[in-house]
Structure 1
Amino acid sequence: MEFRLHPEVIHTAESAGARLEVIEFDPQPTESPLEGFQQLLSRPARWRQLALQLSGGNAVLEPGALQYLRGEIDLQASASGGAGGGLGGLLRGAVTAAATGESLFKTVYHGRGVIYTEPTRLHLLLGALQEEELIVDDGAFVACAGNITVGRHVNRGLAAMLGSGEGRVQPKLSGTGVFALQSPVHPSEFQILELRGETLKVDGNLVLAYTNGLTFSVEKSTRGLLASGRSGEGYVQVYRGTGRVWLAPTLPIHTLAQTLVTSA
């Protein structure tokens, strides 16, 4: 069965010298409705792509995200998360990257033109930072533009509960600009929670990102992500302080649906 692709810009975000656009390709079945329905069951119906339009600004992409670019744009490999710089910082970063599987280098783009990322079946969530830091879930970061640097955040909340000496390394975005994250959840289904000196407890890995004004910890609960063999208790993720949380309540539904489609 053949599909005709109709690209359409569905979301945008702008910063100084840069504009992010989410392009969605809507496949239209060319044969009978029954065959079209069967095709949609066999794979997700839509593909999405991120276009970064630079007019003299900077952008950072996750390694492997680039598909092609047009214009006068320079590329430069930059060591991520290395405060202080120097060979010592680079080597420490290399050790961390090797231990966590995270790429040491991210590509920085500068100039005038358009950058296109590899198409994905995941949804692309756009957001903005204003002199803030954003902690991002593993594998969710796609790109950012403006005056944003990409580094590492060592999250020791889970490690402390499990008695492990090493923390979980996550991407950290710092500065002012716009960013793009990927998720199986549609942007309209996210709740962006504004916490003002409050406590948020989440049972499940439903948080895609949170600002660094919040402290993260893991506490015991009667049910949760990690079951204890002795007590039957689990854990919840706890966020305290002032800041924003990107929460996806419908993530379990999407995960189940994807499992059913894959196994069909």
Structure 2
Amino acid sequence: MQLVQEHVGSGLTLRVHALTRVTRFSRTPDGELGETREMDGRFTVEAELNGSGVLLEPGAFQYSVGQIEANVQQQQQGGFLRRAMATAGSGESAFATRFTGQGKVWTEPSRKHFVIAEMSGDPSDAMLLDDRAFYLAQDTMQLGTHTHSSISGILSGNGLRQPKLSGRGVFAVESPVPVSEIEVIELEGRQTLTVDGDLALMYSASLNVELRPLVRGMRNAMRTGEGFVYVFSGKGTVYLTPTHRTISGASL
């Protein structure tokens, strides 16, 4: 494996490893057998716990080493029916697997890429995630559901609801493109951001979002060939994956 990203937090260190395979064997000048490796397109996340805990998306666990305890934790407060209704359409499970103790937790290999980041706990740090983007987070954080109040939200690819991550700690989300291809756009409240297609990996919960045709009028929309676009306004950050529709050969 090859380490491609690391983030050290308080009680939790996250590392992203690229899985490799041997492509060639050779002899070194001193007669030792050497090998040439290359990444095979799969990645895994290592969570090193030092008295902290981590919430993991159900089904992502591979193995753990050390004094690790696991239990199921609901991601939202309230009864089961309320949680099931809240998470319906958000692409996320109503539960997460919580690991605590001292040791390491490894996740299943995935062909998606991972983005590791940290939140300070300030309410302005809260992020809305694309469907199924959540992967893991420190157990000091909360994964809930944001309900769009606008009528436009009903028409969006994410439905009325989106996963919302808040609190203080380190977290990781799945991305369809490498970190190097993610474009980070800061909005200061004086401009708007218009995005063609569902290319927003995550964005600040403080932003206003609207889904509407790029041009007004059904006839004009048909003439342009453009469908609905997302329009972001206010103050906050948007993480875009503009190369999502193309095959990328870049690595983290």
Do both share a fold (TM > 0.5)?
yes
Q: Are residues 70 and 244 of structure 1, via their aligned partners in 2, closer, same or farther at CA, if it must alter by over 3 Å?
A: same
CA distance in 2, matches of 1:69, 1:177: 21
Match of 1:59 in 2: 54
Deviations 1:40-69 (A, max 9, x none): 9xxx93211000001011211111111111
Which of residues 130, 141, 161 in structure 2 aligns to 1:137? 130
Can you list the C-alpha shifts for 1:127-169, whole angstroms capped at 9, x where unaligned? 1212221111011111112621111122355755649xx9433
Task: List aligned pairs for 1:26-105, cutoff 5 A.
Answer: 26-30=20-24, 45-82=40-77, 85=78, 87=79, 90-97=80-87, 102-105=92-95
**Residue 9 of structure 2 is aligned to residue 15 of structure 1:** yes
The separation in 1 between residues aligned to 2:153 and 2:18, in whole angstroms, is 42
Partner secondary structure for residue 254 of structure 1: coil
Instruction: Call closer, same or farther: CA 1:94–1:229 in 2, change over 3 Å.
Output: farther
What is the CA RMSD across the aligned residues, in angstroms? 2.9
Q: Please give the secondary structure, in 2, of the residue aligned with 1:45.
A: strand
Give the percent of matched residue pairs that are identical in Structure 1 and Structure 2.
Answer: 34
Task: Quote the residue 2:18 is aligned against.
Answer: 24
Q: Normalized per residue, which structure has more helix? A: 1
What amino acid is the match of 1:10?
Answer: V
Matched, 1:221 2:214: yes
Evaluate the alpha carbon distance shift between residue 27 and residue 196 of structure 1 in structure 2; reply closer, same or farther with a 3 A threshold. Answer: same
Distance apart, 1:98 and its partner CA: 5.4
Match of 1:155 among 145, 148, 158: 148
Query: Offset of 1:29 from its aligned partner?
Result: 2.2
For 1:72 and 1:56, locate their aligned partners in 2 and report how far apart those are by CA, in whole Å.
10
Identify the residue that residue 124 of structure 1 maps to in structure 2: 114
Mapping for residues 174-185 of structure 1, pairs under 5 Å? 174-185=166-177
Question: In structure 2, what residue type is equivalent to 1:80?
Answer: Q
Letter in 2 for 1:218: L
Q: Does the aligned pair in 2 maintain the 1:48–1:123 contact within 8 Å?
A: yes
